[in-house]
Homo-oligomer: A and B are copies of this chain.
Amino acid sequence: MVMETKTYSITFNLEGGKNLTALAEAGESLLEAAKKVNLAIDAPCSGNGTCGKCRVKLLSGDVEGKESRHISPTEYAEGCRLACSTKVVGTATVFVPAAALAYQNRMKVTDLGTSREREVFTGLQAELRNLDLFGDIGLELITLNLQAPNLDDPMADRERLFQAVTDQFGGDGSISVYALRKLPQVLRESGFSCICLVRKEQKPDQHYTILDFFPVDEVPVIPGIAIDIGTTSVSILLVNLQTGEPLAVGNGGNGQIRYGADVINRIIESAKPGGLDRLHRGVIDECIQPLIRELCQQAGIEPDRVYRVGVAGNTTMTHFFLKIPAEYLRLEPYVPAFFETGHLRGADIGIGVHPDAEVTIAPSIGSYVGGDITAGAFSSMIFKKEALSLLVDLGTNGELVFGNSEFLMSCACSAGPAFEGGDISCGMRATDGAIEACKVDETTMEPILTIIGPEGQKPAGLCGSGLIDMIGELFRCGIINAKGKLSREGKRVQRDEWGLGSYIVAYAAETEQGRDIALTETDIDSFIRAKGAIFSAIRTMLTMMDMPMDAIEHVYVAGGIGSGINIKQAVGIGMFPNLSLEQYHYIGNSSLSGAYAMLTSRKAADMVTEVGKSMTYLELSSHPSYMDEFVAACFLPHTDATLFTSDE
């Protein structure tokens, strides 16, 4: 018997006017159909129907969908569907709102974020310079005035150049083919005078590489880039390597998200035929390359004149970045393909920078403690201090480092993407339209929102810091109880036909999408599990070392979750230990800061490796008390409320 599969054309009508038509088989989901035309509809829950981010609207034709907690009967009647749980049964046209593409496509080129981020960055710069960790990257500009050749002196351009460089520089030299291709023109346009960018190599001593040329009358900028590859989003800093100042900053969603919000789903996808290539391209072609182009354009720099790259990311992300199989990361005994990479060249990776750019990647120390943490632990500087300090990095994985100049211990907990806006129906990354802070009136239950973006920006969702604030405020006002359930009635509190409560953060008329922004009990539940994972990890780590929570002298909070988080709220809901507010320090995106340090100093890069080597890894899942700690922490603030009732 021959099975015949029917194929239908599904047209995706994107907000903004573009149309894409996919040929889909009967029974495939709209999400799968979209992937065929490389349309990345958001699905951070990996298409399980739980996150509700893949809402589309049927314009014509037939599909087979159903109502859900994300689609009300009215909305359903209007054509709203979740792309992940709607099947192709015939030809159809669906509208894809910008919101369904927001996670991945909202690339943003900004100045250095908020004033608080700028302050954090300036502090880091000062600290690095104090430690003499700046500028030792071997790049030097030298001005050359060569003798022009003539019939009696017909020496070739390269050899003529080497003679002059060796005179000034000593040692053996080589020249990038990229530079050699420019050389004949450069010399003749300049009358055989030019500025030459040379890199002293680390080994062997006395060896140098000629990278590029500039006209003598130009004051050349030597740009480099620092990249933080997060599971959810990627941040890039384009830096003037001479001054250390940022030239442009940007971030964008990691294009891999269509293969799952967490690393496990992506590793599974990567092991399928062609999967590794898809994951590699998802972050390189769809995210890092366009971001670099965008930043360079803004700064007026040609991308192939980016001469140095510093990269930090978790172990899975660096594997995909280099297109290296990652499947053994999730299989016992959980062994990465590499901890360190040695020095790579731009051409090894294909991100469009100078082919001989030195690419330095922060080393990982295990499958679940990656370069984001070694770079972050470095930039927090806790390894230099006597005081016992805790670094909390709120990424898609919550990651912790505890210790001081004597020892460093790290662990990772699956906090999920809640802090980056994932797993939350109204969640989003900290970009334009994100509610980053709020206040709720205890009596009227009305919120006052702070929104990222230009004057007049309408809210579009909640980013991590806004979410913490919102849940803290709802709890403080008694609108939700210790279990995260809505416990007051009012116009802002609604319940659907299944009895699921939600708090309306913003009404349809006020929002960017023209739809209510509502925080549901499911969202709150996701959040509570995330914060519970963080807190129980901290507890487990300290218990293991026989230390009380107040042994922690400083907490460094890191993560790209908006303008930094409201620590008081975070303590109030039991996410962070009950220490005095002065003990908390927001240090921004510590992974990006570490990548920046590695970019601007070879010594710093070596130190990141040293920090990694000195770190012990604690596997939480094998620790007997962790599960109990986690369950106990899944309350607001905690089942043991005394932990949060100090004199503060």
Residues of B within 8 A of A113 (CB): none
Q: Which residue of chain B has the shortest Cβ distance to A622 in the bound complex?
A: B151
Q: Is A336 among interface residues, defined by CB-CB distance under 8 A? A: yes
Could you tell me if B338 and A149 are in contact, using CB atoms closer than 8 angstroms?
A: no
Could you tell me if B344 and A158 are in contact, using CB atoms closer than 8 angstroms?
A: no
Give the residue among A150, A324, A334 with the most B Cβ atoms within 10 A: A324
Candidates B150, B159, B184, B322; contact of A333 at CB < 8 Å: B150
Could you tell me if B181 and A338 are in contact, using CB atoms closer than 8 angstroms?
A: no
Q: Is A156 among interface residues, defined by CB-CB distance under 8 A? A: yes
**What would 9 A/B residue contacts be, using CB atoms closer than 8 Å?**
A150-B333, A154-B333, A157-B337, A157-B338, A177-B322, A180-B322, A184-B328, A204-B204, A347-B347
Could you tell me if A324 and B181 are in contact, using CB atoms closer than 8 angstroms?
A: yes
Could you tell me if A174 and B325 are in contact, using CB atoms closer than 8 angstroms?
A: no
Q: Is A439 among interface residues, defined by CB-CB distance under 8 A? A: no
Q: Which residue of chain B has the shortest Cβ distance to A182 in the bound complex?
A: B325
Could you tell me if A156 and B323 are in contact, using CB atoms closer than 8 angstroms?
A: no
Could you tell me if A184 and B325 are in contact, using CB atoms closer than 8 angstroms?
A: yes
Give the complex CA separation of A336 and B185 in angstroms.
12
Residues of B within 8 A of A159 (CB): 338-340
Residues of B within 8 A of A155 (CB): 335, 339
Q: How many copies does the complex hold?
A: 2
Candidates B172, B174, B334, B337; contact of A180 at CB < 8 Å: B337
User: A156-B338, A185-B325, A339-B159 given as contacts; is B151 within 8 A of A333 (CB)?
Assistant: yes
Could you tell me if A184 and B151 are in contact, using CB atoms closer than 8 angstroms?
A: no
Q: Which residue of chain B has the shortest Cβ distance to A157 in the bound complex?
A: B337
Residues of B within 8 A of A180 (CB): 322, 324, 337-338, 341
Residues of B within 8 A of A337 (CB): 156-158, 180, 183-184
Q: Is A36 among interface residues, defined by CB-CB distance under 8 A? A: no
Residues of B within 8 A of A341 (CB): 158, 177, 180
Q: Which residue of chain B has the shortest Cβ distance to A175 in the bound complex?
A: B342
Candidates B156, B177, B203, B328; contact of A335 at CB < 8 Å: B156
Q: How far is the CB of A255 from chain B (nearest CB, A)?
A: 20
Q: Is A47 among interface residues, defined by CB-CB distance under 8 A? A: no
User: Which residues does A use to contact B, with CB under 8 Å?
Assistant: 149-151, 153-159, 172, 174-175, 177, 180-181, 183-185, 188, 203-204, 207, 322-325, 327-328, 332-344, 347-349, 355, 364, 366-367
Could you tell me if A339 and B156 are in contact, using CB atoms closer than 8 angstroms?
A: yes
Residues of B within 8 A of A183 (CB): 324, 337-338
Q: How far is the CB of A277 from chain B (nearest CB, A)?
A: 11
Q: How far is the CB of A249 from chain B (nearest CB, A)?
A: 28
Give the complex CA separation of A364 and B204 in angstroms.
27
Q: Which residue of chain B has the shortest Cβ distance to A338 in the bound complex?
A: B158
Known: A156-B337, A158-B341, A159-B340. 18 other contacts (CB 8 A): A149-B333, A151-B332, A151-B334, A155-B335, A157-B336, A157-B337, A158-B337, A172-B203, A174-B343, A180-B324, A180-B337, A180-B341, A184-B327, A184-B328, A184-B337, A185-B325, A188-B328, A203-B207
Residues of B within 8 A of A154 (CB): 333-335, 366-367
Q: How far is the CB of A174 from chain B (nearest CB, A)?
A: 4
Residues of B within 8 A of A347 (CB): 347-348
Give the complex CA separation of A336 and B157 in angstroms.
6
Give the complex CA separation of A615 and B338 in angstroms.
49
Smallest CB-CB A-B distances: 10 pairs = A204-B204, A158-B338, A156-B336, A156-B339, A174-B342, A177-B348, A149-B335, A184-B337, A184-B325, A151-B333
Q: How far is the CB of A528 from chain B (nearest CB, A)?
A: 31
Q: Which residue of chain B has the shortest Cβ distance to A331 in the bound complex?
A: B188
Q: How far is the CB of A388 from chain B (nearest CB, A)?
A: 27
Residues of B within 8 A of A336 (CB): 156-157
Candidates B172, B324, B332, B355; contact of A184 at CB < 8 Å: B324
Q: How far is the CB of A465 from chain B (nearest CB, A)?
A: 35
Residues of B within 8 A of A204 (CB): 203-204
Q: Which residue of chain B has the shortest Cβ distance to A315 in the bound complex?
A: B156
Could you tell me if B340 and A158 are in contact, using CB atoms closer than 8 angstroms?
A: yes
Q: Which residue of chain B has the shortest Cβ distance to A188 in the bound complex?
A: B328
Residues of B within 8 A of A150 (CB): 333
Give the complex CA separation of A323 and B179 in angstroms.
11
Give the complex CA separation of A344 and B341 in angstroms.
21
Give the complex CA separation of A180 and B340 in angstroms.
11
Give the residue among A158, A185, A338, A349 with the most B Cβ atoms within 10 A: A338
Q: Which residue of chain B has the shortest Cβ distance to A619 in the bound complex?
A: B151
Residues of B within 8 A of A333 (CB): 149-151, 153-154
Give the complex CA separation of A324 and B184 in angstroms.
8
Q: Which residue of chain B has the shortest Cβ distance to A332 in the bound complex?
A: B151
Residues of B within 8 A of A328 (CB): 157, 184, 188
Q: Which residue of chain B has the shortest Cβ distance to A617 in the bound complex?
A: B154
Give the complex CA separation of A159 and B335 in angstroms.
11
Give the residue among A335, A349, A364, A366 with the most B Cβ atoms within 10 A: A335
Give the complex CA separation of A364 and B156 in angstroms.
9
Residues of B within 8 A of A185 (CB): 325
Give the residue among A157, A175, A183 with the most B Cβ atoms within 10 A: A157
Residues of B within 8 A of A156 (CB): 335-339, 364
Q: How far is the CB of A179 from chain B (nearest CB, A)?
A: 10
Q: Which residue of chain B has the shortest Cβ distance to A349 in the bound complex?
A: B177
Q: How far is the CB of A373 from chain B (nearest CB, A)?
A: 15
Q: Which residue of chain B has the shortest Cβ distance to A348 in the bound complex?
A: B177
Q: How far is the CB of A14 from chain B (nearest CB, A)?
A: 34
Give the complex CA separation of A153 and B341 in angstroms.
20
Q: How far is the CB of A145 from chain B (nearest CB, A)?
A: 17
